[in-house]
Structure 1
Amino acid sequence: MRVLLLAWLALVATGVHAQYAGQDNGKPDIISRDASIQVNDDDSITVTETTRVGRAAPLPFHRDLALGNRNWSASDVTVLEATQNGEPVETQVDDHAGGVRISTGSTGAEGTREYTLVYRLGHAVVHYGDGDRLDWPVASRSNPLELRDAQVKVLLPDGTAPQRTRAWFRLGTTDLGSHWEENRVRGDEVSLYWPSGLGAGQTLSVAVTYPHGGAAAVPGNASKTPGMAAPPRWVFDGRVWLALLVAYYLAVKFLFTGSAQRKAVIAEYGPPGGYSAAALRLLWHQAYDDKCLAAGILGIAAKGGLCISREADGSYVATRAGDEVHPGLTMDEHILRSSLFTLAPSVAFTRQNADGLDLVESRFRAVLEQRCSRERTASPDTLLLPGWLVVMAALGFLYFGGRDPLQLAAQLIASVAVAGIAVVTLVRFVPHGLLRAIRLQAGVAVAICAAAWATGVDPANGVWMAVLLAAQIFAGWWLPRLPPRDTELLRKLRGFRWYLATAEQQDMDARYKPSLHPELQASLLPYAMALDVEVAWNRRFAGTLQQAGEQGFVTELSQRRAGHTEAAVDLLAFARAMSKSRSTQA
């Protein structure tokens, strides 16, 4: 009989060992986690939780408390008791992965281990309107262990109305609802049960909302002020912000830029009246750039208002020519000519004169933009500003979401204000600053996403943050490539540009005498450069200039130079040197 009893005990022990071995299976599983949470009057909670881990779980044991919508620090956690298999162990609390890590010592026990922690967690309750909300992490993203099941009980303040209390699990950023049969509210007590398992690295949390009662605001803490209305739930949804951003840029496409259907191009054989080459460049590109000043100087030179010469050291010098009041110059060209020769009849385009040229360009740019303001559509840089503000607001909600409303509002105002000031400053003082900084913006976006992931933001929110930044950067590349809004002036400008780029020899011979070809080349060269067709325009004269010289049709300009082709090449070289110089200084 005694032998049979010993055999039976051995079989039972073997079965229990096999059961534990089957549960462990060589994996560092969390077998279960049970927790009891008491809500205190100072917005803190006292948590008693028991975690059972398999024999393969690493030592020491860590308990991570982190949520994407909370910024807990080590000062918010006070460990009251910690045991392993019933024996006391030491603990250490540190900041970790956007939250807090509680590390425990070890008693040296092997096999399945059971850890019990009792700790107080501050700032766990958030006030909104006439309600309170509690969020508590069952498993954080930095947890490398698997969760098989979890049971949570929450003791709310006395007198809490159960009919207005709601409790549910959140898997990542997805609310799983409060309709599960296992989730029950009885008076002041809420019971939740998670039976379906959870993979390592996944985030699971408990959310409980209840009418404002026993949890009073912390004195002196403005972020805990009761009565502040909570923001609507949609502001924490990345899909809504992406739809808003896409809708804005679609509105920009149809309201501020040209449509795909345009009228046929009709050839124009001269520039629109009253506009200088620099003004036409600004209208064509819808923004002031580094070639506008060069186009303005070439336009004055082509009309006889100044002469451009190249010195032995390779620098260029402009000298005033003609009368003080030149009837052929437009208003902006008059102002540019007057600014260039205020101090002397000649000006050298050298580094020593860079400061003076900057002042000249600033005045010329202001006059030019005022001249073209009626015909000019919105600048692409300016159109990007609302998009950046939408993205920054979205990042604020996705990163700081879930805090009490006043603290969230402060974070949003600060982040959007800083970003807005930086972007407006870039647009105001750096021409095409936003459009040129595509690579820089991409680098900033990568840095923001990396920082968000490193600080423990919810993975789903991190993905939406990356998608929104990528969409905004794509808009910076796409927006300048949209055609400008169609106007009568732009239609004439397209016809004139088409003529400069495609005019054939017989057409010019029919419209102009060969003797006029050199003057035609020189007079329209600034407009060709302004519209980016200077190479095609000069190529039209390669075969006729020599013929014109042989027939005796040689003008005063060609007598001073080896030929108009060489003069045009010199002027283009000057324009390119000027454009490169201004671009480098910008």
Structure 2
Amino acid sequence: MAIRSFVRLFMQGAWCILAFGLVAIFPVGPAAAQSFSERITDFTVNIVIDHSGSISVREDISVYANGTQIKRGIFRDIPLVFALPSGFYQVSQIEISRVFLDGRDVAYRTENIGRDIRIYIGEPDQLLSFGDHTFTLIYRMKDQVSFGDGIDELYWNVTGNRWQFTIDKARATIHLPDDAVRTGFAAYTGYERERGAQFRVPKPDNGNVFTVETTEKLVPGKGLTFAVSWPAGHVVRPEGPINLDQLIRDNIGIVTGFGIWLLLVGYLIWAWSRFGKDPAGPAVIPRFEPPEGMSAAKVGFLWRNASAGRTYASRAFAVVLTSLAVKKRLSISVTGHEEYVLGKLSGKIDDLCDDEQTVFNSLFREAGVSEIIIGDEYRQEVQSAHNWLAKIYAPTNRDTHFIRNDRAWRIGWVIGTLSLLAVVLLDPSIAAHDAESYVGALVGCVIFSVGFMMVFNVLRRFWSGMSAGDGWYVRLIRVLLIGAGFMVPFFGVAVILAGVMSPVAIGVAALPVLTCALFGIWLEVPNTAFLTVRAEIEGYRRYLTMAEEDRLNFASREMGDAIAFFEKHLPFAMALDAEQVWTERFEAFLKSCASTDPNAVQSYDPAWYRDSRRGWHGLGDFGSRSAGRLGAVAVSHGAPSIPSTGFASRGGGFSGGGRGGGGGGGW
């Protein structure tokens, strides 16, 4: 045996030397060179459809081998996992009957590769001689026929679109069930999802047996696909219970993951009923003063359930500026171009709230600066003040006011991760079947789980911004842009899974992510102190927005007292989204004074606020108008930026569609 192998190797080497020598002496053109390249010279398929819906397939694959890739033989990849139109899987079984090489039995072995079964044809310890060889593969597959209203159809990818070699010609002969007559037929050539027409149907054609063949070569990536239909009744259709049982077995990952998700929902609902229900707070009654010792910006933050975050920081900036202005620490002038001129006034700041002192010191940090213009240009002092407000009024500070049941949520997260693992590890497209594939799938799930935690935090912040009613769409864009960089591993794995898993499997995998994210919020409960303060704030806001006839806010007050009263509560009204109503109440009071003083409406001319276009009436929407400008000036310049970056037999198919397919190469 060793001598025979040595002689064969010697002869092959001699032929190689001779061939290269001839090429060197007699150069050949492209056409001649192509004749020596490895390729599939003929791909002939014979398909027989029987009454059970199974098909018997014989593939005769003739190749030219020169030892480059085809050394011992070829391998053939045949898909076994298909996504149904419903989004569920169908896993087919293949029965390999015979395998030949040049008309004689030859060894073969199989290996699972994702959705495919890979069949290696050839002797592992024997090299092929150079030249033409024909590999024959005979196999049978069940449940390949699709059923429609009154018709049955076979949609079959003859060659597959993943061959390493050019296919000179391909030909498929189809045998319909006995007595069946073809009612529809279509064929497609080209790359996957193309609808090329480089084929013909040669005669004779008796309706029951017919042939389709290509008219052009199929380069790597191109293939031949056909679809044929015939009247229903010639193939036995599966009954409901059998079909349901098969559906469950083929989608065991989806079913198991969904079952664990139901367990997760049940557990989290139980945990919420025990730990997550908000306790009843004190009754809300109108009160005439804000909670003692709190700045206007903090009152607005707590009124938003301490969920305001960075978006609220822009409004808080406007609130703090207004509070500093009414306390005569600075002046605000609004130009016709919507620029804000902040002027420093004399006076101590030791008696101001902490957020007001910090903002004032940040704006006028440089000695000798008495005026700041906030327009389209970036200002470092504005950014510093804005960032500090965003930090102290961030949702992470909710822990001071809310109690999170972390233990219950972590248990839920473990259950959710098990649901995710079940969907991925048992998914037939992933095909985890041995130690290596299980380790790979587990590593992928670990990365996915880390990203899962990041997605949870993103959704939690987004939900908080929505519940606060404070520019949720802006908040969503900001959080997604910032979080994208941290979630690259998650998105990478998610994209890979989305490319191989069915839509239903992806949806079931997403369920535990969304469920844990939502219950992570719902399992938070406010503490008693926060409920008390929240009730006081709500009662105070009710007073600010109450109709004049229900609560005489400005009645029985002298003009000077009324102005001081209006200015005192204006920053709080801005923080509580009530500045428009509060300003209208004050304007109504001024108009009521017109009977004795016709110039009463014009008599209010605050020295701390100037608006060249609106006058003092601009105070009514100063907070909402200025929040966007102040926030944009603080964060949109100088900060890191992110660069922008039907039935196939009736013409509804494409190349690479349907059953069959796959591809192959040499080994």
TM range (shorter): 0.5 to 0.7
| Counterpart contact for 2:254–2:505, Cα < 8 Å | no
| Partner amino acid, structure 2, of 1:334 | Q
The answer on 1:416 being equivalent to 2:449 is yes
What TM-score, normalized by structure 2, do the two folds share?
A: 0.49
The answer on 1:519 being equivalent to 2:519 is no
Aligned twin of 1:311: 335
| Partner amino acid, structure 1, of 2:299 | L
Q: Distance in 2 between matches of 1:289 and 1:97?
A: 45
| Number of positions where the alignment pairs a residue of Structure 1 with one of Structure 2 | 423
CA drift at 1:275: 0.9
Q: Distance in 1 between matches of 2:519 and 2:395?
A: 27
Which of 555, 579, 582 is residue 537 of structure 1 equivalent to? 582
Aligned twin of 1:120: none
Query: Cα deviations across residues 8-67 of structure 1 (Å, max 9, x unaligned)?
Result: xxxxxxxxxxxxxx9823x7x32xxxxxxxxxxxxxxxxxxxxxx358x99999744569
Secondary structure of 1:351's partner?
coil
The answer on 1:337 being equivalent to 2:360 is yes
| Counterpart contact for 1:306–1:318, Cα < 8 Å | yes
For the structure 1 residues 468 and 256, does the alpha-carbon distance in structure 2 shift closer, same or farther, using more than 3 Å as the test?
A: closer
CA RMSD in angstroms, aligned pairs only: 5.9
The answer on 1:488 being equivalent to 2:532 is yes
Written as runs of structure 1 = structure 2, the 5 A alignment for 1:210-289 is 237-244=257-264, 247-248=267-268, 251=271, 255=275, 258-259=278-279, 261-285=280-304, 286-287=306-307, 288-289=309-310
CA drift at 1:484: 9.1
Secondary structure of 1:238's partner?
helix
The answer on 1:357 being equivalent to 2:401 is no
The answer on 1:565 being equivalent to 2:584 is no
Secondary structure of 1:318's partner?
strand
Aligned twin of 1:574: 626
Query: Cα deviations across residues 148-181 of structure 1 (Å, max 9, x unaligned)?
Result: xxxxxxxxxxxxxxxxxxxxxxxxxxxxxxxxxx
CA drift at 1:235: 12
Written as runs of structure 1 = structure 2, the 5 A alignment for 1:21-36 is 24-25=50-51, 29-30=53-54
Q: Distance in 2 between matches of 1:583 and 1:253?
A: 42
CA drift at 1:559: 11
For the structure 1 residues 107 and 264, does the alpha-carbon distance in structure 2 shift closer, same or farther, using more than 3 Å as the test?
A: same
Aligned twin of 1:82: 99
Aligned twin of 2:321: 297
CA drift at 1:500: 1.5
Written as runs of structure 1 = structure 2, the 5 A alignment for 1:100-499 is 100-102=117-119, 115=139, 144=144, 237-244=257-264, 247-248=267-268, 251=271, 255=275, 258-259=278-279, 261-285=280-304, 286-287=306-307, 288-290=309-311, 291-327=315-351, 329-343=352-366, 344-367=369-392, 376-377=401-402, 391=416, 394-401=419-426, 404=435, 409-420=442-453, 432=465, 436-437=475-476, 452=497, 454-456=499-501, 461-469=505-513, 471=515, 487-499=531-543
CA drift at 1:249: 6.9
| Counterpart contact for 2:98–2:138, Cα < 8 Å | no
| Counterpart contact for 2:416–2:513, Cα < 8 Å | yes
Query: Cα deviations across residues 200-251 of structure 1 (Å, max 9, x unaligned)?
Result: 995858x9xxxxxxxxxxxxxxxxxxxxxxxxx9995432234325644774
| Counterpart contact for 1:318–1:348, Cα < 8 Å | yes
Secondary structure of 2:331's partner?
strand
Secondary structure of 2:402's partner?
coil
Is the deviation greater in 387-396 or in 460-469? 387-396
Q: Distance in 1 between matches of 2:462 and 2:242?
A: 56
For the structure 1 residues 568 and 460, does the alpha-carbon distance in structure 2 shift closer, same or farther, using more than 3 Å as the test?
A: closer
For the structure 1 residues 353 and 346, does the alpha-carbon distance in structure 2 shift closer, same or farther, using more than 3 Å as the test?
A: farther
Q: Distance in 1 between matches of 2:587 and 2:120?
A: 82
CA drift at 1:496: 0.8
Secondary structure of 2:342's partner?
strand
Relative contact order (alpha carbons < 8 A, sep ≥ 6): 1 or 2 greater?
2
Q: Distance in 2 between matches of 1:547 and 1:534?
A: 20
Gaps (5+ residues) in structure 1? 1-21, 31-52, 69-78, 117-137, 147-195, 208-232
Query: Cα deviations across residues 114-153 of structure 1 (Å, max 9, x unaligned)?
Result: 538xxxxxxxxxxxxxxxxxxxxx98xxx7359xxxxxxx
Secondary structure of 2:586's partner?
coil
Secondary structure of 1:319's partner?
strand
| Counterpart contact for 1:66–1:100, Cα < 8 Å | no
Secondary structure of 2:348's partner?
coil
Query: Cα deviations across residues 422-461 of structure 1 (Å, max 9, x unaligned)?
Result: 76699899995997449979xx99998885464256x875
CA drift at 1:294: 2.2
For the structure 1 residues 450 and 422, does the alpha-carbon distance in structure 2 shift closer, same or farther, using more than 3 Å as the test?
A: closer
Q: Distance in 2 between matches of 1:300 and 1:250?
A: 49
| Counterpart contact for 2:448–2:494, Cα < 8 Å | no
For the structure 1 residues 573 and 24, does the alpha-carbon distance in structure 2 shift closer, same or farther, using more than 3 Å as the test?
A: closer
CA drift at 1:199: 9.0
Query: Cα deviations across residues 343-379 of structure 1 (Å, max 9, x unaligned)?
Result: 2222222332344322222233444569976753369
What is the aligned-residue identity percentage? 18
Aligned twin of 1:192: none
Secondary structure of 2:373's partner?
strand
Q: Distance in 2 between matches of 1:378 and 1:557?
A: 44
Q: Distance in 2 between matches of 1:258 and 1:279?
A: 22
Query: Cα deviations across residues 522-564 of structure 1 (Å, max 9, x unaligned)?
Result: 3222212211222222232332223446547745627986864
Secondary structure of 2:328's partner?
coil
Secondary structure of 2:298's partner?
helix
Q: Distance in 1 between matches of 2:59 and 2:97?
A: 23
| Partner amino acid, structure 2, of 1:276 | S
| Counterpart contact for 1:92–1:103, Cα < 8 Å | yes
For the structure 1 residues 471 and 421, does the alpha-carbon distance in structure 2 shift closer, same or farther, using more than 3 Å as the test?
A: closer
Q: Distance in 2 between matches of 1:371 and 1:424?
A: 11
CA drift at 1:490: 0.8
Secondary structure of 1:544's partner?
helix
| Counterpart contact for 2:583–2:619, Cα < 8 Å | no
| Counterpart contact for 1:268–1:499, Cα < 8 Å | yes
| Counterpart contact for 1:298–1:575, Cα < 8 Å | no
What TM-score, normalized by structure 1, do the two folds share?
A: 0.54
Gaps (5+ residues) in structure 2? 1-47, 62-75, 84-95, 122-132, 147-240, 427-431, 640-667
